[in-house]
Amino acid sequence: MNSIQATEADTSRFLSMLAEISSQQKTICAQLDELLLLMQLPSEAVLMVLGGLLKPMNTNMDELATAVQAMMGRL
């Protein structure tokens, strides 16, 4: 059975690399947590669009369709 012996310098370098990987993973996890939070809390622009989509709910849909057709005719 073959085995590889690591020197103290190799071991130190390996542990340093593991520490760097761990640090990068912490950063990535923090960024993913921030992304999830942003996805749960929509921006003001998203809320404005949603508000615009919901506004017609209290409007007569026939009047709304007529208004949209009139706007499309002007384009």
pLDDT 10s digits, 28-53: 999 999 888 877 887 787 777 777 77
| Residues 25, 50 share a domain | no
pLDDT at 8 over 70: yes
Q: Is the pLDDT of residue 26 over 90?
A: yes
Is 65 among the domain residues?
Answer: yes
pLDDT at 56: 65
30: DSSP letter:
H
| 2 within some domain | no
Q: Tell me the average pLDDT across 1-10.
A: 83
Distance of CA 30 to the CA centre of its chain: 12
What is the extent of the structural domain holding 35?
7-41
Residue 49 shares a structural domain with residue 69: yes
Count: domains in the chain? 2
CA 41 to chain centre: 10
Who's near 64: CB < 8 A, 6+ residues apart? 56
Residue 12 has pLDDT above 90, yes or no: yes
Instruction: Calculate the CA dihedral of residues 11, 13, 17, 22 and round it to 10 degrees.
Output: 60
Q: Is residue 27 part of a domain?
A: yes
Residue 37, in any domain of the structure: yes
Q: What pTM value is reported for the model? A: 0.48
57, part of any domain? yes
